[in-house]
Structure formats: C-alpha cells, structure tokens
Amino acid sequence: MKDKPQDKSQGPLFKEETIPVGDLEVDREIQRYVINLKKVENIVRNFNQAALGVITVSKRNAVTYVILDGWHRVQAVKELTDNQGSILCHVYEGLSRAEEAQLFLDLNAGNQPNLLDKFRAKMVAGDEGATEVTKLVHAYGWTINPITGNGNIQCVGTLERIYKRSTEHDADPNWLQLALLVVTRAWGMERAGGQSAILEGLAVLFAEHGVGPDGLLDVDRLINKLTTYPGGPRGLGSDASNMAAIRRGRLPIAVAELVTDEYNKGKQAKRLPPLKKRRL
C-alpha cells in the first residue's frame, strides 16, 4: 500500500491499494442498475493488464469496499481469474453515501451512465431536483423503476425537465404534479400513462393555459375527458405517433393538440385555443 500525495484542496484523499476482486462489492443505488455484459465480454476477449488502469472504491469499513468506478473491469478480472485475482484501486475512506454517489457521477462525467442510473445516483447524492421529482412520483403511487410495468416510470429526463421548467416559471402547482395527478386519476397506474410524450404533452398544456381561478384549464374536465379517450393512454399515444409522423412534428405537441381537441368537445365557453408554444 502507498499513500497518494494530494493537495487536500482538491477533495478527499485516497490511498492506492491492490485489492482482491472477491472483496469488491457494488451498491446498486449508486452504481449502474445493471452491468453491460457485452462490455465485460469485450474486456475479457481483448484482455490487456496494462489497460486495466486503476479503479475507484470507497472503503466503508474494515471488510467492505464498494466500487465507484471500474465495475466492468472488476467483473472481467473476476471471470478471468475465477474470482481469485486482484486489481489496483484508489481507495477513499470516510465518505458518506451522498459523497460516494457524487464521486460516481463526477468520475463518469465523460462516460455517462444511462439517465435512470444517473438519476438514482443523484438521489443518493441529495440532489434537490431529483429528490423533489421522486417525492411527487411517489405521492401519486408511481415508482421510478427500469422494469417495464404498471406503476413504473422510466422517463426520468422528462420528469426532471418538466419539474425544472415549472419551478423556473414559479408555477403552483408544479406542472409535473398536475401531469401525474391527471394521468393517475384518468387511467390509474396504467404504464402507458406514464410515458414521456403524454406527461410532457400535458405539461405543455399547463404551461400554455394555466389552471385554477387564473387559468383556462379545468383539471376535473380534463381528467373526465381523458378517462373516456378511445383506447386510453395507449390509444392517445398511438394517435399522437400517427399525427406527429404525418406532420413531422414533436410527439408531445401531438399529444397536447389531441388532448386540446378532446377537451373542447361539447364545450361552448372557455374553449382551449390552438397551441402557441411548441415546447416547454
């Protein structure tokens, strides 16, 4: 073992240690949700000891070393050595889980994990936007989860964008909250209701028209109209895809236009005018 001389102003100190790969663990709330097996296979097939470099780990206690960067390389060494090999590591001690998550994000700035993995790490790191988005999603019974299924949402980039644009406009309620409220009351936990285009399309309408006493949109009417939309959220998504393809436009805008038409059916006063804004 040897200490790595560092300027303390540059962040936490680390030591260099060669650690058995069998002692290295993964915290799935900080690391990527799943490992890329093809990437591991490529490292194994073209193995070059000199190209392994140094991985980054956090030493949580005397026996727990958590991988922050280099999971694929560690897995390749495990497979090549039947879990008996070792690898050179930068070892940080005394990090909180939030600091571990932030270091994971910093180390992968040029090799970005997918949005879901990045979002989960931001949550652990205490990112305010990610935390508030998660609270809103959970408040309506949904879960941010990469597994496709009813009640699960994957479009974290859209969730964050809607929340951010809404806070920038000081909208109250937040447009994300309204979108989740509408799809949940209209269609329950139907997974198609949580797709990106539908949530963003609804957010566009809230941004354009507003709700409540000072807005044009009646949320109860909107929910009732969507409840009876032919085919539910799947039908809306399919109709929007066809419209966007014909017009060569954006899918969320097609959703917003279709919802506008549905909302206006049978309404004589306070009809929604055509959209002016084409995005959030």
Per residue in 228-271, pLDDT (tens digit) is 999 999 999 999 999 999 988 899 999 999 999 999 999 888 89
What confidence category does residue 91 fall into, taking pLDDT thresholds of 50, 70 and 90? very high
Residue 257 and residue 141 share a domain: yes
Q: Do residues 249 and 175 both lie within one domain?
A: yes
- pTM exceeds cut of 0.85: no
- 46-76 pLDDT, tens per residue? 898 888 889 999 999 988 999 999 999 999 9
Q: CA 131 to CA 186: how far, in whole Å?
A: 25
Residue 58 is part of a domain; what is its CATH number? 3.90.1530.10
Residue 87, SS3 per DSSP: strand
How many structural domains is the chain composed of?
2
260, 217 contact by CB (below 8 A): no
Q: Which domain holds residue 242?
A: 127-264
Is residue 122 in some structural domain? no
Indicate whether 168 and 258 sit together in one domain.
yes
Tokens encoding 16: 């260099």
CA distance 109 to 238: 36
**Eight-state DSSP code of residue 195:** S
